Amino acid sequence: MDKFEQAFNELIEKELKIEPRDWMPEKYREHLIRQVSQHAHSEVIGMQPEGNWLLRAPSLRAKQVLLAKIQDEGGHGLYLYSVAETLGISRQEMIEQLHTGKAKYSSIFNYPTLNWADIGAVGWLVDGAAITNQVSLQKTSYGPYSRGMVRICKEESFHQRQGYEIMMQMAFGTPEQKEMAQDALNRFWFPALMMFGPHDKDSAHSSQAMKWKIKIESNDQLRQKFIDHTIKQIEYLGLTCPDPNCKWNEETGHYDHSPFNWDEFWNVVNGNGPCNQERLDHHKKAHNDNKWVREAAAAYALKTEAQVA
């Protein structure tokens, strides 16, 4: 082991941060590029199911709050693309990887948002699951990713509250609204749990990610944490968990759950979910339509640079 590798290992061992200027193993760099770019794509693609309801929000207040949330998600994407760029990949390459299917984005965004209660369920469950993971990632070993997570988590907490507020309005509203809230919970419960990825035993990247402290907690640990605190929120709403086996287990000190439908998960991850094609087509079109903006910004930057010189 040379002195660079030793220095890297010591930083990991002491739970100090690896910074862009530091030496790092090529595999560590590649691992982070994969995870962070996929995280960035998720933030950006995640704007679509919510954007779908902007023009149909039930009040001006609801519209303003939703708009602010969606703009935050775009901002999260930008922080994360910047984090990935510090590892030596360009934004353009990352977008190409998304468009060619080489890079993934979270499975959850391939499900449709059919009505306003779904917007509540997305904010509450999807952002709730995202925060559970991201709070853990605040301690990740790569400095820029860790610091990005601190800011993102602050904003995600507002997003989760936004979703839960909608759920409260629906669940404590008319019987029809309560029914819509229950239906949204029924449809989003299992897909939200699958956001944490496959079981630890089937997770290709977890073991190495945990050795490098990129991941601090495993897929199953985080999923269980999310189930344990969300059940109480379901009870407060007076709704029913769609999983009949989700019962408190005195022995484990956690809630049990039914087996997940991993065939459905892999089907969605591999591009065959209800909205995969629509999400990618929309992104490609927006990217092409906005080419002139990128060109104008680049030309302006060049002009300004020449003036300064």
Binder among 12, 20, 22, 34 for ligand BYC (CB under 6 A): 34
Contact flag: residue 38 with ligand BYC (CB under 6 A) = yes
- Looking at 195-241, list the stretches that DSSP marks H as alpha helix, in order from N- to C-terminal side: 206-211, 219-237
| φ/ψ (deg, to 5) at 261 | -90, 85
Beta strands in 79-183 (DSSP E): none
Q: Is 129 exposed, middle or buried (0-12, 13-18, 19+ CB in 10 A)?
A: buried
Q: Which is nearer to ligand BYC, 84 or 170 (CB)?
A: 84
For 47, the token pair is: 């704007």
Q: Which is nearer to ligand BYC, 46 or 237 (CB)?
A: 46
Q: From the CB of 252, what's the least distance to ligand BYC, in Å?
A: 22
Contact flag: residue 39 with ligand BYC (CB under 6 A) = yes
Binder among 42, 132, 141, 224 for ligand BYC (CB under 6 A): 42
* Chain-centroid distance, C-alpha 280: 17
Residue pair 163/119 in contact (Cβ under 8 Å)? The answer is yes
- Interaction mask 171-210, ligand BYC, x per CB under 6 A: -----------------------xxxxx----xxxx--x-
- Identity of the amino acid at 128: G
Binder among 85, 118, 127, 217 for ligand BYC (CB under 6 A): 127
- Identity of the amino acid at 28: Y
Q: Which is nearer to ligand BYC, 149 or 237 (CB)?
A: 149
- Identity of the amino acid at 85: E
Residues 51-80 that bind ligand BYC (CB under 6 A): 73
Nearest to 42 by CA among 79, 92, 3: 79
Q: From the CB of 35, what's the least distance to ligand BYC, in Å?
A: 5
Mention every residue, 6+ apart, whose C-beta is less than 8 A from residue 26.
none
Nearest to 129 by CA among 216, 215, 226, 228: 226
Whose CB is nearest to ligand BYC? Answer: 46
Q: From the CB of 53, what's the least distance to ligand BYC, in Å?
A: 13
- Cα dihedral across residues 67, 71, 72, 76: positive or negative: positive
DSSP string, 99-111: HHTSS---GGGGS
Q: Which is nearer to ligand BYC, 150 or 302 (CB)?
A: 150
Q: Which is nearer to ligand BYC, 178 or 200 (CB)?
A: 200
Contact flag: residue 267 with ligand BYC (CB under 6 A) = no
Q: From the CB of 46, what's the least distance to ligand BYC, in Å?
A: 3
Contact flag: residue 126 with ligand BYC (CB under 6 A) = yes
Q: How far apart, in whole angstroms, are the C-alpha atoms of residue 41 and residue 174?
A: 37
Residues 211-240 that bind ligand BYC (CB under 6 A): 219
* Chain-centroid distance, C-alpha 165: 20
Q: From the CB of 272, what's the least distance to ligand BYC, in Å?
A: 13
Q: Which is nearer to ligand BYC, 35 or 141 (CB)?
A: 35
Q: From the CB of 40, what's the least distance to ligand BYC, in Å?
A: 8
Q: How far apart, in whole angstroms, are the C-alpha atoms of residue 5 and residue 289?
A: 45
| Residue ranges that bind ligand BYC, judged by CB under 6 A | 34-35, 38-39, 42-43, 46, 73, 104, 106-107, 126-127, 130, 133, 194-198, 203-206, 209, 219, 269
